[in-house]
DNA sequence: CACCTGATGTCAGTTCCTGACATCAACGTA
DNA sequence: TACGTTGATGTCAGGAACTGACATCAGGTG
């Protein structure tokens, strides 16, 4: 018989999302999260480096980015690879719209959490740029393609969560890419 | 005779930048900053909402952005306006390269500070997008132009501080814009 | 069976940050 | 001049985030 209930980390994430939704982020103490998960505050900080991280800890985005970039055809231009990659990310999110919205609501209600989300997006951009360089794309082009690609992703994601009935996220990404091409061509 | 030494806020900023440079951000307590400035910890938090903000508190960027956008000719496209605006920002920074580098070094050494910097850049993007909408640019185009414009700014700024002898920031911005046009056209 | 490992608990302490209240020079006004 | 107001600062108490040091003890390993 196991000494402890299994999946402590998952229980902490669950408890945190629930409590943040009920009382808000600031009004929820780490002690309260740990208690609901049947653990102690000290154990919370062994699983997450800080209180915010419990909302961001399990994002497998990085590996997905590397795979998408590697899967793009040899002939694709850097920007085409970028467009295809963020379209793939969108595809992955499309399925879990409900959970994404719930998490989004918590984050939207608190500036500290928005701060952390920006960091995660910046890491995604850095990972994308690195994957592009891996393909032989020069530094400047890789950095610009990655940053602008993530910019399109951010804007499309905003439309997706805000609009009452938007087309799917992948479709929003595609129109964002098109619109960006129009804008920069002027 | 004044009751207190003047410019408490400025003294706090000065003391903080010095101490962060000497010992690092984490090893510097707010109490130590306040003491060097001849004030108390409580007074520090009356001037800055948190410890990080002392490095970001006096950025007059927002108003500069609005002015630049307003100054652009009626005929300019959204992306042209954006390009001109970030070029103006670059112009303003070009003069204070030394201080920008010092501040940059402190920020580069600490993830918490990088987090805050991303927030400031996001606010700049939001302000730029709002100024563009003010001109009648549609929502999506305004958001995309602003986000991609700031992306160019970030990338150029990185080159500027990293490269030992780069051309000026404005020149880097211009080549970034050109490169972006090339990339998206492919 | 003895030993080690690793996830958790316990406890004390530091630092960030906030609320409530006190102080007192400068200033305006009668 | 006297007197009340204002506003920047100080003082104090306390909550919550986070960390380091050490204890515990089921389960695997030799």
pLDDT at A108: 95
pLDDT at B164: 74
> What CATH number does the domain located at B61-185 have?
1.10.357.10
Mutate: best of B79, B133, B184, B186, partner A, most A CBs <10 A: B184
Using the beta-carbon criterion (under 8 Å), do A184 and B79 form an inter-chain contact?
A: yes
Find, in chain B, the residue whose alpha carbon is nearest to that of A178.
B184
**Cα(B163)–Cα(A111) distance, integer angstroms:** 33
pLDDT at A51: 98
B61-185 and B8-55 share a CATH fold: no
Domain-wise residue ranges, chain A: 8-55, 61-185
pLDDT at B12: 98
Secondary structure of B123-186 as H, E, C letters: HHHHHHHHHHHHCCCCHHHHHHHHHHHHHHHHHHHHHHHHCCCCCCHHHHHHHHHHHHHHHHHC
CATH superfamily of A8-55: Homeodomain-like (1.10.10.60)
Beta-carbon pairs below 8 A across chains A and B:
98
Strand C-proximal protein residues, Cβ less than 7 Å: A 3-4, 8, 34, 38-40, 42-43, 46-47; B 1-3, 28-31, 41-42, 45, 49-52
CA B161 to chain centre: 13
Tell me which of A18-22, A92-96, B112-116, B169-173 is least confident.
A92-96
Beta carbons of B113 and B106 less than 8 angstroms apart:
yes
Distance from CA of B5 to the nearest CA of A (A): 34
Using the beta-carbon criterion (under 8 Å), do B118 and A116 form an inter-chain contact?
A: no
Q: What is the pLDDT of residues A158-169, one digit of tens each?
A: 898 887 778 889
Per-residue pLDDT of chain B (186 residues; tens, 9 = 90+): 678 899 999 999 999 999 999 999 999 999 999 999 999 999 999 999 999 999 998 776 778 899 999 999 999 999 999 999 999 999 888 888 888 888 999 999 999 999 999 999 999 999 999 999 999 999 999 999 999 999 899 989 989 888 777 888 999 999 999 999 999 998
**Cα(A76)–Cα(A84) distance, integer angstroms:** 10
Secondary structure of chain A as H, E, C letters: CCCCCCCHHHHHHHHHHHHHHHHCCCCCCHHHHHHHCCCCHHHHHHHCCCHHHHHCCCCCHHHHHHHHHHHCCCCCCHHHHHHHHHHHHHHHHHHCHHHHHHHHHHHHCCHHHHHHHHHHHHHHHHHHHHHHHHCCCCHHHHHHHHHHHHHHHHHHHHHHHHCCCCCCHHHHHHHHHHHHHHHHHC
**Cα(A121)–Cα(B144) distance, integer angstroms:** 16
A41 CB neighbours strand D below 7 A = yes
Nucleotides of D under 7 A from a protein CB: 7-13, 16-21, 25-27
Q: Name the band, by pLDDT with cuts 50, 70 and 90, for residue A1.
A: low
Q: Cα–Cα–Cα angle for A164, A170, A175, nearest 5°?
A: 85
- Tell the burial category of A133 from Cβ atoms under 10 Å away from its Cβ (0-12, 13-18, 19+): middle
- Which position has the higher pLDDT, B71 or A101? B71
Q: What is the pLDDT of residues A33-81, one digit of tens each?
A: 999 999 999 999 999 999 999 999 877 677 889 999 999 999 999 999 9
B39 CB neighbours strand D below 7 A = yes
Output the CA torsion sign for A109, A146, A67, A133.
negative
Q: What is the pLDDT of residues A135-158, one digit of tens each?
A: 999 999 999 999 999 989 998 998
Beta carbons of A149 and B149 less than 8 angstroms apart:
no
Q: Which residue is nearest to nucleotide D10 (CA to C1')?
A: B40
Q: What six digits make up the tokens of A81?
A: 């690879």
How many C-beta neighbours within 10 Å does residue A149 have?
A: 31
**Cα(B69)–Cα(B133) distance, integer angstroms:** 10
Average pLDDT, chain A: 92
Output the CA torsion sign for A166, A124, B108, B99.
negative
> Taking Cα atoms as reference points, which of B116, B102, B120 lies closest to residue B19?
B102
Q: Name the band, by pLDDT with cuts 50, 70 and 90, for residue A11.
A: very high
Between CA B4 and C1' C27 the distance (Å) reads 16
């Amino acid at each position: 018989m196991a000494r402890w209930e299994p999946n402590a980390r998952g229980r902490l994430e669950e408890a945190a999302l629930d409590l943040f939704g009920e009382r808000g982020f600031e009004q929820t103490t780490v002690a309260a999260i740990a208690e609901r998960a049947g653990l102690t505050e000290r154990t919370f900080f062994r699983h997450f480096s800080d209180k915010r991280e419990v909302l961001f800890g399990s994002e497998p985005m990085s590996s997905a980015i590397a795979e998408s970039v590697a899967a793009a055809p040899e002939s694709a231009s850097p920007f085409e690879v970028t467009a295809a990659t963020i379209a793939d990310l969108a595809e992955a999110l499309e399925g879990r719209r409900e959970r994404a919205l719930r998490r989004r609501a918590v984050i939207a209600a608190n500036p500290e959490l928005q701060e952390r989300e920006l960091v995660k997006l910046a890491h995604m951009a850095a990972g994308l740029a690195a994957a592009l360089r891996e393909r032989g794309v020069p530094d400047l082009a890789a950095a610009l393609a990655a940053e602008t690609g993530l910019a399109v992703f951010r804007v499309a994601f905003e439309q997706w969560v805000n609009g009452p009935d938007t087309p799917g996220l992948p479709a929003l990404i595609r129109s964002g890419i098109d619109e960006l091409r129009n804008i920069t061509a002027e």
